Amino acid sequence: MERNGSVLMQRYELGKLLGQGTFAKVYHARNLKNGMNVAIKIIDKERVLRVGMIDQIKREISVMRLVRHPHVVELYEVMASKTKIYFVMEYVKGGELFDKISKGKLNHDDARRYFQQLISAVDYCHSRGVCHRDLKPENLLLDENGNLKVSDFGLSALADTKRQDGLLHTTCGTPAYVAPEVINRKGYDGTKADIWSSGVILFVMLAGFLPFRDPNLIEMYKKIGKADFKYPNWFSSDVRRLLSKILNPNPKSRISLAKIMESSWFKKGLKKPIITDTDNKELAPLDIDEVFKASENGDNVDLPKPCSNLNAFDIISFSSGFDLSSLFEEKEQKTEMRFTSYKPASVIISKFEEICKSLGLKLKKKGGGLLKLESSKEGRKGRLGINAEIFEITPAFHLVELKKSNGDTLEYQKLLKESVRPSLKDIVWTWQGEQPEGHCLDMARRTTSPVAER
């Protein structure tokens, strides 16, 4: 267990805990050899393996080793033990840009300087084939000199992750900062999406509030899709012109980074970052797969499948008023239902055992979180069969999908409505399409940002 004052790998003395999340803790630490202050992100390897986040961690390591720029948080080295992965990173002690903005809007000069530094970093990332995909003030840190540093590359994409059409297809990011083309799931250019998010950040810095905001998430997405926002009266005409080109809902005609950097507003007082030999120096080769081998074990068939392909938008869509699919595609008659639960998989399975016993159904455990429920009586179209599959989103949060495998659809729907659903009420957080208690945006953030810890 990590604690203040303990020595890590005989090289770093751990200091205070800076932040923690589902899969990782971040500590201040001191290099015992040269006394340099660093931040160490300690990731629980077993939990990452269990929930299927291996590729995401590997990608974060690859990206951070590839991108070395004065306005990007630097990764110094990656170490591993049998149970932990350690990211040794640059210590940025000025806090998040978000904290600064939350106290009120910034003056034009400060906002411009941060924006210049952000665009410089993003342009460099793009030149290295890296799209960040989650740019927001919470992921922009400030050093002791007030210079901006881009962090959290857990959702970033490398050029080789694109499909054959040359576009990215994973919906990710934070709702208020995400580009309209990302929402509609039709494929998008990650560089254009980063430009949009940068424009939202600029607006927020100058205004002190978001350009697209609405209590109803669907309404907010409609505003994003139409770029429906208003400028505060203190915005200058030149920054309005620039923002109108950045917050263009059509990615094909959206302004490029090169054009942004040519604009008169952007160039005012510009100080280009100095790229040193150290920045250009390649890090020593690292076998990333080797980092994970120490604790990789065979699959346990009794565990639910990790649901690593779900993101904030998918989880949000399980609640009423937040199903975005109707905006972009035709509704189909479906024979499956989903619910989410805070209960462990063992409790969910026990509940299904109870239900089957009370309803006279047969229950078969197929492994990997798959249960098969079958009626003992013949129905209109043979015996009714239902598959219940449990997916682990995080160790404390599960998604269960119920799907008719055989039998009559009306009999299936009647059984679910009159018997199964009422019996499951003790373990259900929310059924898809219904409003849960609590704030679903917060739930989505907590369940889909396992590696973006603070």
What's the CATH number where 48 sits?
Answer: 3.30.200.20
Assigned domain for 434 exists? yes
pLDDT higher than threshold 60 for residue 437: no
Name the DSSP letter for residue 72: B
Domains: count for the chain: 3
Between residues 105 and 10, the one the model is more confident about: 105
**Is the CB of residue 137 less than 8 Å from the CB of residue 143?**
no
Residues 170, 240 within the same domain: yes
Assigned domain for 124 exists? yes
pLDDT over 70, % of the chain: 74
The domain spanning residue 378 has which CATH number? 3.30.310.80
Assigned domain for 216 exists? yes
Give Cα separations from 379 to 50, 353, 383, 386 (angstroms): 40, 22, 5, 13
What are the binding residues?
41
Assigned domain for 54 exists? yes
What are the binding residues for ATP?
41
Question: Which of 58, 91, 124 is at the close of a domain?
Answer: 91
pLDDT higher than threshold 70 for residue 327: no
Look up residue 353 and give its two tokens.
């055992």
* Predicted confidence (pLDDT) per residue in 413-425, tens digit: 889 989 999 999 8
Assigned domain for 283 exists? no
* Rounded Cα gap, residues 377 and 365, in angstroms: 20
Assigned domain for 291 exists? no
- Choosing from 44, 109, 123, 134, the catalytic residue is 134
pLDDT higher than threshold 60 for residue 439: no
Assigned domain for 295 exists? no
By residue range, what is the domain housing residue 323? Answer: 305-448
Among 308, 310, 401, smallest CA distance to 348 is for 401
Assigned domain for 289 exists? no
* Predicted confidence (pLDDT) per residue in 353-376, tens digit: 999 999 999 999 877 778 999 998
Concerning whether 134 is annotated as a catalytic residue, the answer is: yes
Residues 32, 174 within the same domain: no
Burial of 357 (0-12, 13-18, 19+ CB in 10 A): exposed
- State the amino acid at position 178 in one-letter form: V
* Rounded Cα gap, residues 245 and 238, in angstroms: 11
